[in-house]
Amino acid sequence: MAHLDGPGSGREAPESLRYRRRMNARTRTVLHLLAATGSIGIAGLVAWAWLSPQIRLDTALTLTVFLVPWVVIGGPYLMHLAASARSERHAQELWRDHGRRARRFAGTVTDRDVRTTDEGQVSLFRVRVTGLPAAVFPGGEVAAAWRPFPRAGDYLLQSQVPGAGAPARVWRVPGLPDSPVVVELTDPTVVTPAPGGGEVVHGGD
């Protein structure tokens, strides 16, 4: 998971993980019940279309082509959403309970992939961070991704995404095998090198 911060951040581990807000348990239950009811209804309708002598073959085929994909694709997609939500809740709970013990490691961005909207705002970026201790991170590297929260209005421009060679702070809880990994990066548009070293801060997030 990638966090984008302004200068001066990174002295302490993030207080929480940056995840999108998921549906609560009640909403998920209602959604799954509706999906199950819809799937049963679609299956019954398709079966009736093929077995009824009043329905033409081309009509039955059309119903099958248009309705069956909703069951074949929709069911696994809902299962994927539920699994992702459980994984994120587990990570949030681990970080809430153990995040204060997280240890910081210094790494370097060696690769990035940026996706933008038609308006030029960043909809997703992924980075690969290397230079980490192999004893803690397999291969001495980690990958992380960032997505905006549309309701929070925290969109970025492509110039705000750190490029190759940018420093990264990687946080992980020692002794916790399934510890979440948080990658903190600094917006390059708010920091420039100062004469003689150091940083000149133009603003923050």
Reply yes or no on whether the pLDDT at 66 is more than 80.
Answer: yes
Cα separation, 171 vs 181, in Å, equals 6
97-150 residue pLDDT tens: 999 999 999 999 999 999 998 888 898 999 999 999 999 999 999 999 988 876
pLDDT for res 5:
59
Q: Which amino acid is at 34?
A: L
For 20-61, the pLDDT digits (tens) are: 666 666 777 777 788 788 888 888 988 998 998 888 988 889
Q: How far is residue 141 from each of residues 41, 107, 176, measured CA to CA in Å?
A: 48, 8, 18
Quote the pLDDT of residue 198. Answer: 36
For residue 190, the model assigns a pLDDT of 75
